Amino acid sequence: MITIAEIRSMATGFAIMGYGGGAMIGAPLAVWLMDHFASDGIPGVKQALIAMGVIYFVVMLGGAVGFRVTPSGWKPLGWSAPEHGRGKGMITRQNVHLSQAWKTPQFWLIWGLLCLNVTAGVGVISMASPMFQDVFGARLIGAHAVGEMTGAQKTAVAAAAAGLVGLISLFNAVGRIFWASLSDRIGRKNMFFTIFVLGIVLYCLLPTWGHLVMPALFVASICVILSMYGGGFATVPAYLADIFGPQMVGAIHGRLITAWSVAAVIGPSLIAGIREFELGHGVPHALLYDVTLYIMAVLLLGGLICNVFVKPVHSKHWMSADELATERALLHEDQVAITADTAARGAFGLGGILAWLAVGVPFCIGLFIAIEKAATLF
């Protein structure tokens, strides 16, 4: 992301895909471990957590040992910067210090659009399974109301809802690469315009799909929405690097990610509160989420407005040459490192094969489980 601005979003998309891909691996692994350590019908939660902690420690330690930062001035062999294309005018060649970045309107506008996008996305993730069961459960198997379903019918509907959750995890992971890579072609700002407008339309259509009993369109819309949630989350680091420069993007992103924390509290709480309120007022199960989904569309409209006002940072906030030199000296980093020309150029040997196997095999297993669960929907 720091070395090659033209593909920085794709790079972060691959990295942040770990969040979505990890869910496909971690969830079934946790279930298997709890079943494996179960005793007298009681799930082995404590043992499963200890085992997962050990696994996480080994995996993260291996990643840390293998991690390499490219020397300043490094570029792939034979690579040259392409001409600025559509949407690339927002990419700055300057840098903004952390102490200045969070004082700019651009920081808070990006904070706002991330918070609103994540609030809507996390809200859907938290309610996907119960929403599918409430809206379609009874009608999918020919009953008129949830209370009329037998135990076997409820189990079948719950299995279908679990399939939706598996499908969501898949689209959440893939969306992080797709939308992030798209932003490298059309620009970060244009990409956020796209996901906000499309998201507003899809959120407004979801109640209609429910009323018309069209589960296929409902599921497809949910999957696209969650792909955009993942894509927006993956694109934000590159958006920050475009606006504030790459020198301190990690520290700036650390402050910006508080938007995700706020959204993770607001989204599920808002949806649960509205659901309980409507249940208390006798709203039918099939209509419980209509108001909530329209509220999610309004949140995305707010994110769209924030995105409109994101502009390049004023030159008064740029770091001077002396300030930049000081920061690089603190990192023991020269403008062009002596090792830049002789650093690795991406040779793919045995180490690369083993690294991809270590990541790819668990991911493929998680992918298979997610697809297997999703198959119950069809």
- The pair of structure tokens assigned to 172 is 């959440």
Which comes out higher in pLDDT, residue 283 or 258? 258
User: Which pLDDT tens digit goes with each residue over 16-41?
Assistant: 777 767 777 887 888 889 999 998 88
Question: Which span out of 5-9, 74-78, 126-130 was modeled with the highest average pLDDT?
Answer: 126-130
Partners of 42 in the β-ladder? 39
CA dist 50 → 10, 34, 37, 98, 363 (Å): 34, 11, 11, 38, 21
- The pair of structure tokens assigned to 123 is 């809200």
Residues 158 and 152: their CA atoms lie apart, in Å, by 10
Asked if residue 160 has pLDDT above 60, the reply is yes
The pLDDT of 281-291, averaged and rounded, is 84
pLDDT at 194: 96
Residues 168 and 374: their CA atoms lie apart, in Å, by 9
User: Which pLDDT tens digit goes with each residue over 175-197?
Assistant: 988 999 999 889 999 999 999 99
Domains of the chain by start residue, with CATH: 5-78+88-377 (1.20.1250.20)
Contact 177, 13 (CB under 8 A): yes
Asked if residue 333 has pLDDT above 90, the reply is no
Q: What percent of the chain has pLDDT over 90?
A: 32
The pLDDT of 267-289, averaged and rounded, is 85
CA dihedral (33, 37, 42, 46) positive or negative: negative
Residues 51 and 37: their CA atoms lie apart, in Å, by 10
Residue type at position 133: Q
Q: Out of 116-130, 274-288, 292-306, 364-378, pick the least confident.
A: 364-378
Can you point out the beta strands (E) in 32-178? Answer: none
Asked if residue 172 has pLDDT above 70, the reply is yes
How much is the pTM? 0.81
DSSP 39: B
- Look-up: residue for tokens 């200045």? 100
